[in-house]
Amino acid sequence: MEIIAEVVLGFILESLIPAIIEISFDFLWRCLGHTFISRESRNGFMAGIGYFLFGLMLGGLSLLVFPQSFVRSERFHGINLLITPVLCGLLMTAIGRWRARQGDPLLRIDSFVYGFLFAFAMALVRFVYTT
């Protein structure tokens, strides 16, 4: 029972931290004035590479604050490479829909693919460098 609780809590924490960082990143991005550039006028492939690189960088920075993996079980450590990015992609899709209903301008990260890329890069760094 303790192992199940640890795995569930670990997945929740591993999913929550990238989501909070993504939302913070999105807020800072908007504060810097990039909301005036429409999504359609930018190259989508380059934007994907950019979000992946930001995910790698912020994944590395997250290791300074949380050097240990939240999932202690070695059997479930790799599952985070799929679960967290999917959850973050879904969260960013929901945020994008909410912003669209509010009439706010959308960034590319307000979609599943770019949110997934960002969170996957973070999870990849954490997978490789945590125990």
Q: Please, what is the average pLDDT of the chain?
A: 79
Cβ-defined contacts of 65-72 (< 8 Å, 24+): 66/17, 67/130, 68/130, 68/131, 69/10, 69/14, 69/126, 69/130, 69/131, 70/9, 70/10, 70/11, 70/13, 70/14, 70/17, 71/6, 71/7, 71/10, 71/11, 71/14, 72/6, 72/10
- For 8-46, the pLDDT digits (tens) are 767 676 777 777 887 877 766 655 444 345 556 566 776
SS3 33: coil
For 71-90, the pLDDT digits (tens) are 777 777 777 888 889 999 99
pTM here?
0.71
**pLDDT digits 0-9 by tens, 39-71:** 565 667 767 777 888 888 889 998 998 888 877
